[in-house]
Amino acid sequence: MLESMFRRRILNNSFNRKSRIVLAFDEYGDKNAVLNRLCWVCEYLGEHLACVKIGYPTILSTGLSELKSIIDEFSSENVFMADVKIADVSHTNSLIAKLLYEAGFDAVIAHGFIGYEGGLEGVFKEAKGLNRGVVVVASMSHAGSVEFLDPNMERIVQTALKHHADGVVAPATRAHIVKRVREIAGDSLLIFTPGVGAQGAEYGSGLSAGADFEIIGRSIMYSPNPIETVLEVKKKHDGVLADRAC
């Protein structure tokens, strides 16, 4: 299986920018205000980020066509991931993924609990045809994840491995899950950890558990000085990675 363009791009960005930060951009409301905020992020924070993850609130506020113009403007230097947690039947999933990839997204996030046959199958089909990325949710950062997702986490990770996903989502708020995902996946999957900052996990906690990237949103976006906060996070990450290398 050839490495996807998404995996190459995010790893190159991470190396060149010395960053393990995936910024969660979920701004909503007035379309122009949201688009202007996204432009600001790409222009002033982009050089410190591995990837910009754009969520449903933003997509619903701006529409894909308007969002595409921003992605096109900044796509040469920034990697964009669509966080819509695709979770439908294969035909619908295929259409959703196709629309997002055509809007310029390098990767999409899909739920693993729907299974592959007749479910994730549609997402992977579109990704393969366009050489884009798929990141599968194996576990989530909220408490309710322990009810249904976590008991099936290992099977979801195995599915992601079998079908050559680029990565999985596992929560920084439960380090033991991240560690177990790494044991199962080895280096074959990138691990993205949400829950850092506003949800309670400390900066660096996901990396300490073996993740490749930390997904951070509100604590950066709502900071009085987002650039200063990003640099603070990077400094913390540098220390964690130095300890990991020992």
Q: Kindly report the CA angle at 107 between 67 and 140, in degrees rounded to 5? A: 105
pTM of the model: 0.96
Domain 5-245 CATH superfamily: Aldolase class I (3.20.20.70)
Tokens for 92? Answer: 């619908």
> What pLDDT is recorded for position 38?
99
Half-sphere exposure of 213 (CA within 13 A, CB side): 29
CA distances from 218 to 75, 141, 167, 240 (A): 23, 14, 23, 22
Residues 6, 82: Cα–Cα separation, whole Å: 12
Residues 182, 2: Cα–Cα separation, whole Å: 21
Residues 233, 82: Cα–Cα separation, whole Å: 23
Q: What secondary structure letter does DSSP report for 201?
A: B
Residues in the chain predicted with pLDDT less than 50, given as ranges, are none
Residues 66, 81: Cα–Cα separation, whole Å: 16
> What pLDDT is recorded for position 108?
99
Cβ pair 193, 175 in contact under 8 A: no
> What pLDDT is recorded for position 214?
98
> What pLDDT is recorded for position 197?
86
Q: What is the pLDDT of residues 182-196, one digit of tens each?
A: 999 999 999 999 999
Residues designated as active site: 85
CA distances from 141 to 155, 229, 235 (A): 18, 22, 24
